[in-house]
Amino acid sequence: MIELPSIQQLENFIIYSKVKDIATAAREANVTRSAFSFQMKKLEEIVGTQLVVHGENTIELTKEGQIFLAKAEKIVSELKQSLSEMKKLAGEEVSLSVGALMSLGDVFINQHLT
């Protein structure tokens, strides 16, 4: 049986390809840098080819990485769309929640102003 990458690995690869920095990508994925790096190495192992070339301060996708990125983006997008459609069929309303995080300083300033 063929080992498949996890959805998380695909999403993290997409993030990595956009920000081109492992530390930033790890922060966006909300994992440690070492965990993120491990996931990317495991993804390359599963795919069977190098997806990323690391330079001094940058990363570039290999030709194979560019091809795989397009496919990964399509897979993740279609999965998200399918889940949204299934929730609508099940009668669950899909909503968008928007919030603003405030710092402790903002909270104290707002209390002081009121």
pLDDT value at 114 more than 70: no
Alpha carbon dihedral 5, 28, 60, 46, in 10-degree steps, equals -10
Model confidence at 82: pLDDT above 60: yes
Identify the band that residue 54 occupies on the pLDDT scale cut at 50, 70 and 90.
confident
pTM of the model: 0.74
Q: In CATH, which of 3.50.50.60, 1.10.1040.20, 1.10.540.10, 1.10.10.10 is domain 7-113?
A: 1.10.10.10
Count Cβ atoms below 10 Å from residue 39 Cβ, excluding itself: 22
58 pLDDT band, cuts 50/70/90, is: confident
The answer, yes or no, to whether residue 51 has pLDDT greater than 70, is: yes
Question: 8-38: b or e for each residue (b if 16 or more CB lie within 10 Å)?
Answer: ebbbbbbbbbebeebeebbebbebeeeebbe
C-alpha to C-alpha distance for 51 and 107, rounded to whole angstroms? 45
- In angstroms, the CA 30 to CA 43 distance is 18
